[in-house]
Amino acid sequence: MDYRKYCELVIDIAREAGGFIRERLHQVRLSDIEKKGKQNFVTEVDKGAEERIVSSLEKLLPEAGFITEEGTSTKTGIRYTWVIDPLDGTTNFIHGSPFVAVSIALLEDNEPVVGVVYELFMDECFYAWKGSKAYLNGKEITVSATGRVSDALIATGFPYHNFDRLDGFMQSLAFFFTNTHGVRRLGSAATDLAYVACGRYDAFYEYNLNPWDVAAGAFIITQAGGRASDFKGGSDYLFSREIVASNSNLYAEFLENVGRFMNYRKTDP
CATH architecture, domain 3-141:
2-Layer Sandwich (3.30)
Q: Where are the beta strands (DSSP E) in 123-241?
A: 124-129, 134-136, 139-141, 153-156, 182-184, 203-207, 226-229
Q: How is the chain split into domains, by residue range?
A: 3-141, 149-261
Question: What fold characterizes domain 149-261?
Answer: D-Maltodextrin-Binding Protein; domain 2 (3.40.190)
Predicted confidence at residue 37, as pLDDT, reads 44
pTM for the structure as a whole: 0.92
262 alpha-carbon distance from chain centroid: 20
Q: What whole-number distance in Å separates Cα of residue 42 and Cα of residue 93?
A: 10
Other beta carbons less than 10 A from residue 243's beta carbon: 27
Q: Based on the number of CB atoms within 10 Å of its own CB, is 112 exposed (0-12), middle (13-18) or buried (19 or more)?
A: buried
Beta bridge partners of 205: 156, 244
pLDDT at 39: 42
Mean pLDDT for each 10-residue chunk of the chain (269 residues)?
97 97 74 50 79 97 94 89 95 88 97 97 97 98 98 93 84 97 97 98 96 98 98 94 97 96 58
